[in-house]
Structure 1
Amino acid sequence: MFPDRVLSGMRPTGSLHLGHYHGVLKNWVKLQQEYECLFFVADWHALTTHYDEPQVIADSVWEMLIDWLAAGVDPAQATLFIQSRVPEHAELHLLLSMVTPLGWLERVPTYKDQQEKLSDRDLSTYGFLGYPLLQSADILIYRATRVPVGEDQVPHIEFTREIARRFNHIYGREPDFEEKALKAVKKLGAKKARLYHELRTRYQEQGDTEALAAGRALLEEAQNLSLGDRERLFGYLEGGGKMILSEPEALLTEASRLPGLDGQKMSKSYHNTIGLREAPDSIARKIRTMPTDPARVRRQDPGNPARCPVWQFHLVYSDQERRRWVQEGCTTAGIGCLECKQPIIDAILEEQKPMLERARVYQEDPTLLRSIVADGCEKARKLAQETMREVREAMGLDYL
């Protein structure tokens, strides 16, 4: 079928913080070692909620890319690019909009949820209504098979699967599909063609899933098939039409366990963040002034770590021995709140040391970053153009 490929993106609407690192970027660093990965700056998506603040987007793009590289995303292992530099995203979005029922967009759970949460913004636009479809185009243009998301984003992936399914159903059955498929079978060579027909018969007549798996493996190993013929034969094997767009799977990721400085979710909206590359003295000041258990009015008052936001940071940054020290010291008033906070300050500063070193390279030589992104955009666009050739052909738009 399609290559095992991961796609993920992030909107440039401000500086990144440690919540982004622990919730997304650490996972990207891991994924790039396991899969072919494409990570993109979703600048068009940022316009759906910040269309009246384009400068925020412009200012954030390059700093966010430096944050990614500082966090350990490796351009030698992953493709980094900017959404708007690959116009095929917009073309596929337009073409998919022709076959997407309006009700499908209106029922996406985050549509009404975001309208309520972002009541201070004008969201009565087609761009906001249609952003799940643009998100689907982002995924489908690269035929991504896996998309790392949190549980709240799973409906978006299911929506994308439905879009791919509907498109393949409408356009995957070419008028001369079977004739083209039979010609493609011959390209396998006499022996493999005979085996392909046997496996297809076993699967379609007897429901033999092992035969289906063997048939897929046979096609994946075939060296002399074009991408179009390969997808035709996958469809013919399974009894359907040509598979033009893939149906991606949601790759569930853990939500960040790191809260904001006040115990709420870390968010710029709550003014409770620690920047990914924040100055050490600023980090120390923020941690030292964090609220603690209200019961500890005086140094000698015992407290309860479960009621203290600082404890949540220990759960992320401290080992078992350190946590035991905090538990005992807090509940017996054996340590003060500033003593409890110091290991967190040390751990965050230690975590940021390699990030600052990696970032410095790109800050001192901005052309290096531009070169990485230019290469990534070129590679991404080649993949996107390959998909769009087949999409246009399927929709009858290749007549020029």
Structure 2
Amino acid sequence: MLSGMRPTGRLHLGHYHGVLKNWVKLQHEFECFFFVADWHALTTQYDDPQGIQDNVWEMVIDWLAAGVNPGSATIFIQSRVPEHAELHLLLSMITPLGWLERVPTYKDQQEKLREKDLATYGFLGYPLLQSADILMYRSGRVPVGADQVSHVEITREVARRFNHLYGRDPGFEEQAEAAIKKMGKKNGKLYRNLKKRYQEEGDMEALDRARALLKEQQNISMGDSERLYGYIEGGGKVILPEPQPLLTPDSKMPGLDGQKMSKSYGNTIGLREEPDAVEQKIRVMQTDPQRVRRTDPGEPEKCPVWGLHQVYSDDATKEWVQTGCRGAGIGCLDCKKPLIDAVIEDQKPFLRRAQEYENNPDLVRSIIDEGCEQARDAARETLVEVREAMGLQYR
């Protein structure tokens, strides 16, 4: 299983509840590779790379502080494993341009980042670099949110196309061409046209129509039908296994203003925030705007503080908040006190573990060095097979 993050510096509690908590769990269930996606950072920050290196080390310390264990998972930096770049290059030789242009986040990100010039191959090709990241380790599962499923789907399509082109048995193409002739001139011509549209333009409608066309054929055997399914969408020896998305639960971590916790909103609590800073941030949080005086009843669902209670408080505390707020039996500072205690208590192990790594940066670098070597060993094995399949393994 593989997952990664762009190096954006120190992480916040939204990262922990949205990603890292899941990583800590998965590292005991799968062989996990967790990587710092520094090349991916350059797809949008190519004109301002200063700080990426510092951000890398800060983020890795946060991973370790959160409980990611280098004894249970391989932690590495993407650019320290140059095999990723080679596989990306080789896959770019077979990937239709239309497949990249139809990735939903391509146009979405261009719209959101209008101030940047994103008319670059690096930005267009970043989903293919992601595919190379995943396929390099033959990952069976890729933990993603619902909005990232399309990236796993294009990875599946690229793997299928690669296997189709380079993993076929001898005589596969000749047998497929013979089967097309059995379909008759009209249906054969239609099949070829649909095959071309799918493989060259990434037209999913063409793939669906081709599948439907094959189901209607009476003049070909079941074996020929299966062969023609593989001929259009991939088939033969599996060199690069197709990964499956492993949907992660949506993060329920709200920010200090009730919106999703995000650096861009300025509403975060850092993973390694000092207790005094945590207390101050929560104490000054906005509450129910209708509750002006201490004696006014409030509505917890309209208060950002309630969102944090739902993450950190037990049932008894939540019931106390609901009753006390609606009946004006407690004030807003009363309501915040158990929340402050809970967040600070939850962060104690993060701060304790982080201190060890902050005091010993050589230890962090040695963990990364070892992880990069482990990742390179796995990557080299994959590339040997890829090069052989593509006729590039010279001896």
TM-score, structure 2 length as denominator?
A: 0.83
Residue 255 of structure 1 deviates from its aligned partner by 1.4
Aligned match of 1:294? 289
1:131-182, CA deviations, whole angstroms, 9 ceiling, x for partnerless residues?
00000000001101000001001111011000000000001126599xxxxx
Aligned match of 1:397? 392
- Does residue 93 of the first structure (1) align with residue 76 of the second (2)? no
Task: Pick from 168, 182, 195 the counterpart of residue 173 of structure 1.
Answer: 168
Task: Pick from 354, 364, 385 the counterpart of residue 349 of structure 2.
Answer: 354
Cα distance in 2 for partners of 1:292, 1:106 equals 44
Q: Which amino acid aligns with 1:301?
A: D
Q: Which amino acid aligns with 1:348?
A: V
Unaligned regions of 5+ residues in structure 1, if any?
A: 1-5, 178-204, 208-234
Which has the higher mean CA deviation after the structures are superposed, 359-368 or 373-382?
Answer: 359-368
CA contact (8 A) 2:44 2:118 kept: yes
Question: Per the alignment, in what secondary structure is the counterpart of residue 50 of structure 2?
Answer: helix
1:264-303 superposed matches below 5 A: 264-303=259-298
Task: Pick from 154, 158, 163 the counterpart of residue 163 of structure 1.
Answer: 158
- Does residue 111 of the first structure (1) align with residue 106 of the second (2)? yes
- Does residue 311 of the first structure (1) align with residue 306 of the second (2)? yes
1:52-201 superposed matches below 5 A: 52-173=47-168, 175=170
Cα distance in 2 for partners of 1:118, 1:301 equals 44
- Does residue 328 of the first structure (1) align with residue 326 of the second (2)? no
Cα distance in 1 for partners of 2:334, 2:116 equals 42
Which has the higher mean CA deviation after the structures are superposed, 50-59 or 62-71?
Answer: 50-59
CA contact (8 A) 1:174 1:394 kept: no
CA contact (8 A) 1:362 1:368 kept: yes
Cα distance in 2 for partners of 1:103, 1:276 equals 40
1:321-359, CA deviations, whole angstroms, 9 ceiling, x for partnerless residues?
100000011111111111111111111111111111111
Cα distance in 2 for partners of 1:55, 1:45 equals 15
Residue 119 of structure 1 deviates from its aligned partner by 2.3
Aligned match of 1:383? 378
Residue 264 of structure 1 deviates from its aligned partner by 1.0
Cα distance in 1 for partners of 2:252, 2:342 equals 16
Cα distance in 2 for partners of 1:341, 1:279 equals 17
Cα distance in 1 for partners of 2:130, 2:34 equals 13
Cα distance in 2 for partners of 1:171, 1:40 equals 28
Cα distance in 1 for partners of 2:304, 2:112 equals 24
Backbone CA RMSD of aligned residues: 1.8
Question: Per the alignment, in what secondary structure is the counterpart of residue 360 of structure 1?
Answer: helix
- Does residue 250 of the first structure (1) align with residue 255 of the second (2)? no
CA contact (8 A) 1:314 1:344 kept: yes
Which has the higher mean CA deviation after the structures are superposed, 47-56 or 14-23?
Answer: 47-56
Residue 13 of structure 1 deviates from its aligned partner by 1.8
Question: Per the alignment, in what secondary structure is the counterpart of residue 55 of structure 1?
Answer: coil
Runs of 4+ that moved beyond 3 A: 174-177
Cα distance in 2 for partners of 1:65, 1:249 equals 26
Residue 308 of structure 1 deviates from its aligned partner by 0.7
Cα distance in 2 for partners of 1:389, 1:299 equals 70
CA contact (8 A) 2:256 2:285 kept: yes
Residue 241 of structure 1 deviates from its aligned partner by 2.2
Identity, % of aligned positions: 73
Residue 240 of structure 1 deviates from its aligned partner by 4.7
Aligned match of 2:333? 338
Q: Which amino acid aligns with 2:64?
A: L
Cα distance in 1 for partners of 2:235, 2:6 equals 37
1:181-210, CA deviations, whole angstroms, 9 ceiling, x for partnerless residues?
xxxxxxxxxxxxxxxxxxxxxxxx999xxx
Q: Which amino acid aligns with 2:101?
A: E
Question: Per the alignment, in what secondary structure is the counterpart of residue 54 of structure 1?
Answer: coil
Question: Per the alignment, in what secondary structure is the counterpart of residue 79 of structure 1?
Answer: strand
